Amino acid sequence: MSLDPDPEEMRRLARLALDRSLDARTRIREARVHTPPDPTELQALLDEPLPRQGLGLADCIERFHDRVLPRATRVDHPRFFGYVPAPGSFASAVGDLMAAFANPFVGTWLGGASMAQLELVVLGWLREALGLPEAWSSGILTSGGSLANLSALAAAREACPAPLARQTIYTSSEAHYSVRKAARILGYADERIVALPVDFEQRLATDGLASRLESDLADGLVPAAIVPTVGTTSTGAVDDVTACAEIGRRHGAWIHVDGAYGAAMALCPEETAIREALAGADSLTLDPHKWLYAGIESGCLLTRRDGSLEQAFTGDGAYLQDLPRDAVNLFERGPELTRGGRALKLWTLLRGLGVDALADAVRHDQALARRAADRLLADPRIRLVTPPRMSVFSFAVPGEEEGGRRLVDALHRDGFCFLSSSRVAGSFVLRFCVVNHRTTEQDVDETVDRVLALLDEQPPGAD
Ligand SMILES: *Cc1c(COP(=O)(O)O)cnc(C)c1O
C-alpha cells in the first residue's frame, strides 16, 4: 500500500500546486500586504473536524490559496517594509522544491555525504562572498538567526574555561532578543547576560564595555562572549566589532557577531570596513532568509574556531557507532540530528544567479531606503530619528507615541503597505526597512504617498 498517488496523478497535482503558487507569486503586488487578524473569522474559515477520510490534495491546494494565503501577512510583498522583510526568491524556491521532493537526510556523513558536501560548499561560498579569510572554515546552516546565535553561544560556553556560574556574556541594549534567549537556554542567569548601554548612534558604547569588564573581572567573573551586532534590527546600527575584539580578546572572550540582518552588506566588495570588522570576530550569524533573498527558513553560522562547534555538540549513542569519526557529521555542529536539504536553496541561489546579482540587489535596497527617507522628509510633519543605515531608517510623526500608534494601526488596517514601529532612546518611532529585490521606486513612492495621506486623515489629537 502506498500513500502516494500514481505517477500521472502526481504530475497533475504537482502542476496544480505549482500553477497556483506561481499565480500567487507573480500577482503579489495586487494582494493586500496584511489583513488585521480576526481570530473568530479565521477559526470559522479554517477549523474542520479531523478528516477520517481524505478530502483530496487538489482540495488542499485550492483551500490554502483561497483561504489561508490571502489573509497571511506577506513578508515578501514588495511593499512590506516592516521588521526585517523576508523576500525569498524564485531561485531559492526552486532549491526548496527539490529539497521537498528529494527529502534528504543531512545529519551525518554516512547518512548523506553528497548533500553534506553541498552544505560545506555553500558554507565556503558564503565565507568567500563575505570576504572572510579561509581560516573561517567551519559553520552550519540553521533554521534562522536565533538558532545560529544559540549554536555560537553554546560553542563559546564550552570554550570558556570558567564554570558556567562565573561566565558572563556582554551585548548591547539594542541586541536582538534571540541573544538573551539563547543565553538563557544555555543556562546563564539573567545577571550574567549584560546588556550594555548604547551611544547616540545606537552602537554598543565600548568604553562602557571596557569598564564593566574590568569590574566584573575584579569580582571573579570571566567573560565568555561579547556579542556585537552588525545591523541592529531596529535601526541598522553597526557596533564596533574591532574595539570589542580588542577589549575581549585580552581576557579570552569569544567574539560573536550577530549579523542576521546586516552581514549581507559584506557581499558588496566596496564595503571594506564591514568586511574587515567581520573578519576580526570568532563567529558570525547571518540570515540568508533576510537580506540574501533565500526562502524562510535559512540561517547560517560561520566560525574560524575549527572544532569548537563539535566540542559543544558532539554526541554519542550506540546506534551511531558506524559513523566515520574523521568525516564532517553536521549533527555534531548544532542541536539537530535529522536536518534536511537546507543547502539546496542557497546552492540554487548562489550558483544559479551568482553572488554579484545578490550584491546588486543589496545596493538596490539601500538606494530605495534612501529614496524613501528623502521623499518622506520633504514633508515638514516627518522628523527623521535615525538616518538610513543598512537599508532601514526611522522617523517620528506629530503626536509622538499616540500619533505614531494611530498611523501604524491605520497602515495595518489599510493593507496597501506595511511599516512597523520601534523605540529609539525610549521614543516611539516608525521604521521603514527595504529588503526586497522586487521592490521598485514606484512601490516606495506609492508607500510614501499612502503614509502621508493617512497622516492627513489622522491629524494629531483625533479620536
Ligand atoms: C532577525 C534577527 C535575528 C533572529 O533571526 P531569526 O532568523 O528570526 O531567528 C537575530 N538577530 C538579528 C540582528 C536579527 O535581525
Domain ranges of the chain: 96-353, 359-456
Question: For residue 84, how far is its CA from the centre of ligand 1 (angstroms)?
Answer: 9
Please report where in the chains the cell 558588496 appears, as a residue. Answer: 268
Query: At residue 63, what is the residue type?
Result: R
* Helix ranges, 47-112 (H): 57-63, 90-102
Architecture of domain 96-353: 3-Layer(aba) Sandwich (3.40)
Query: Is 436 near ligand 1, meaning CB less than 6 Å away?
Result: no
- The answer to whether 283 touches 152, Cβ cutoff 8 Å, is yes
Q: Residue 429: name the closest of 387, 385, 368, 399 by CA.
A: 385
Question: For residue 147, how far is its CA from the centre of ligand 1 (angstroms)?
Answer: 9
- The answer to whether 172 touches 228, Cβ cutoff 8 Å, is yes
Write the residue with the smallest CA distance to atom 6 of ligand 1.
Answer: 145
Whole-angstrom distance, CA of residue 189 vs CA of residue 72 = 37
- The answer to whether 266 touches 275, Cβ cutoff 8 Å, is yes
Whole-angstrom distance, CA of residue 285 vs CA of residue 293 = 16
- The answer to whether 112 touches 344, Cβ cutoff 8 Å, is no
Question: For residue 285, how far is its CA from the centre of ligand 1 (angstroms)?
Answer: 9
What is residue 459's predicted lDDT score, i.e. its pLDDT?
63
Whole-angstrom distance, CA of residue 33 vs CA of residue 35 = 7
Q: Is 250 helix (H, G, I), strand (E, B) or coil?
A: coil
Query: Is 259 near ligand 1, meaning CB less than 6 Å away?
Result: no
Question: For residue 340, how far is its CA from the centre of ligand 1 (angstroms)?
Answer: 21
Contacts of 225 (CB under 8 A, 6+ apart): 152, 153, 156, 157, 160, 169, 170, 248, 253, 254, 255, 256
Whole-angstrom distance, CA of residue 92 vs CA of residue 353 = 10
Write the residue with the smallest CA distance to atom 12 of ligand 1.
Answer: 260
Query: Is 84 near ligand 1, meaning CB less than 6 Å away?
Result: yes
Query: Is 206 near ligand 1, meaning CB less than 6 Å away?
Result: no
What is residue 206's predicted lDDT score, i.e. its pLDDT?
97
Question: For residue 318, how far is its CA from the centre of ligand 1 (angstroms)?
Answer: 36
Write the residue with the smallest CA distance to atom 10 of ligand 1.
Answer: 145
Pocket mutation for ligand 1, best pick of 147, 176, 291, 301 (most atoms within 8 Å of C-beta):
176
Query: Is 178 near ligand 1, meaning CB less than 6 Å away?
Result: yes
Query: Is 176 near ligand 1, meaning CB less than 6 Å away?
Result: yes
Maximum Cα–Cα distance across the chain: 73
For residue 146, the ligand 1 atom closest to its alpha carbon is 9
Whole-angstrom distance, CA of residue 338 vs CA of residue 315 = 13
What is residue 462's predicted lDDT score, i.e. its pLDDT?
52
For residue 262, the ligand 1 atom closest to its alpha carbon is 13
Whole-angstrom distance, CA of residue 406 vs CA of residue 397 = 10
Write the residue with the smallest CA distance to atom 5 of ligand 1.
Answer: 145
Question: For residue 5, how far is its CA from the centre of ligand 1 (angstroms)?
Answer: 39
Whole-angstrom distance, CA of residue 216 vs CA of residue 210 = 10
Write the residue with the smallest CA distance to atom 4 of ligand 1.
Answer: 145
Strands 299-303 and 222-226: unpaired
What is residue 282's predicted lDDT score, i.e. its pLDDT?
98
Question: For residue 363, how far is its CA from the centre of ligand 1 (angstroms)?
Answer: 21
Query: Is 144 near ligand 1, meaning CB less than 6 Å away?
Result: yes
Whole-angstrom distance, CA of residue 405 vs CA of residue 430 = 9
* Helix ranges, 316-440 (H): 342-353, 355-377, 400-414
Question: For residue 175, how far is its CA from the centre of ligand 1 (angstroms)?
Answer: 10
What is residue 159's predicted lDDT score, i.e. its pLDDT?
97
Question: For residue 398, how far is its CA from the centre of ligand 1 (angstroms)?
Answer: 31
Query: Is 229 near ligand 1, meaning CB less than 6 Å away?
Result: yes
What is residue 257's predicted lDDT score, i.e. its pLDDT?
98
Whole-angstrom distance, CA of residue 143 vs CA of residue 65 = 25
In tens digits, the chain (463 residues) has pLDDT values of: 899 999 999 999 999 999 999 999 999 999 999 999 999 999 999 999 999 999 999 999 999 999 999 999 999 999 999 999 999 999 999 999 999 999 999 999 988 899 999 999 999 999 999 999 999 999 999 999 999 999 999 999 999 999 999 999 999 999 999 999 999 999 999 999 999 999 999 999 999 999 999 999 999 999 999 999 999 999 999 999 999 999 999 999 999 999 999 999 999 999 999 999 999 999 999 999 999 999 999 999 999 999 999 999 987 777 777 777 778 999 999 999 999 999 999 999 999 999 999 999 999 999 999 999 999 999 999 999 999 999 999 999 999 999 999 999 999 999 999 999 999 999 999 999 999 999 999 999 999 999 999 999 976 555 5
Write the residue with the smallest CA distance to atom 2 of ligand 1.
Answer: 260
E strands, 263-357, are 283-286, 299-303
Query: Is 248 near ligand 1, meaning CB less than 6 Å away?
Result: no
Question: For residue 12, how far is its CA from the centre of ligand 1 (angstroms)?
Answer: 38
What is residue 133's predicted lDDT score, i.e. its pLDDT?
98
- The answer to whether 228 touches 240, Cβ cutoff 8 Å, is yes
What is residue 318's predicted lDDT score, i.e. its pLDDT?
75
Question: For residue 149, how far is its CA from the centre of ligand 1 (angstroms)?
Answer: 9
- The answer to whether 237 touches 203, Cβ cutoff 8 Å, is yes
Work out the angle between the directed axes of helices 177-185 and 145-159 (0-180°, nearest 10): 50
What is residue 320's predicted lDDT score, i.e. its pLDDT?
75
What is residue 460's predicted lDDT score, i.e. its pLDDT?
57
Integer-rounded Cα Rg, in Å, for the chain is 24
Contacts of 329 (CB under 8 A, 6+ apart): 107, 108, 109, 116, 323
The answer as to CATH 3.40.50.300 being correct for domain 359-456 is no
Domains 96-353 and 359-456 share a fold: no
What is residue 317's predicted lDDT score, i.e. its pLDDT?
73
Question: For residue 364, how far is its CA from the centre of ligand 1 (angstroms)?
Answer: 22
456 vs 235, 397, 399, CA distance in Å? 26, 11, 13
Please report where in the chains the cell 556585537 appears, as a residue. Answer: 228
- The answer to whether 338 touches 105, Cβ cutoff 8 Å, is yes
What is residue 380's predicted lDDT score, i.e. its pLDDT?
97
Whole-angstrom distance, CA of residue 267 vs CA of residue 275 = 8
Grid coordinates belonging to 15: 502542476
Q: What is the number of residues in the chain?
A: 463
Query: Is 146 near ligand 1, meaning CB less than 6 Å away?
Result: yes
Query: At residue 307, what is the residue type?
Result: G
Rounded to two decimals, the pTM is: 0.97
What is residue 461's predicted lDDT score, i.e. its pLDDT?
57
Q: Residue 194: name the closest of 172, 174, 176 by CA.
A: 172
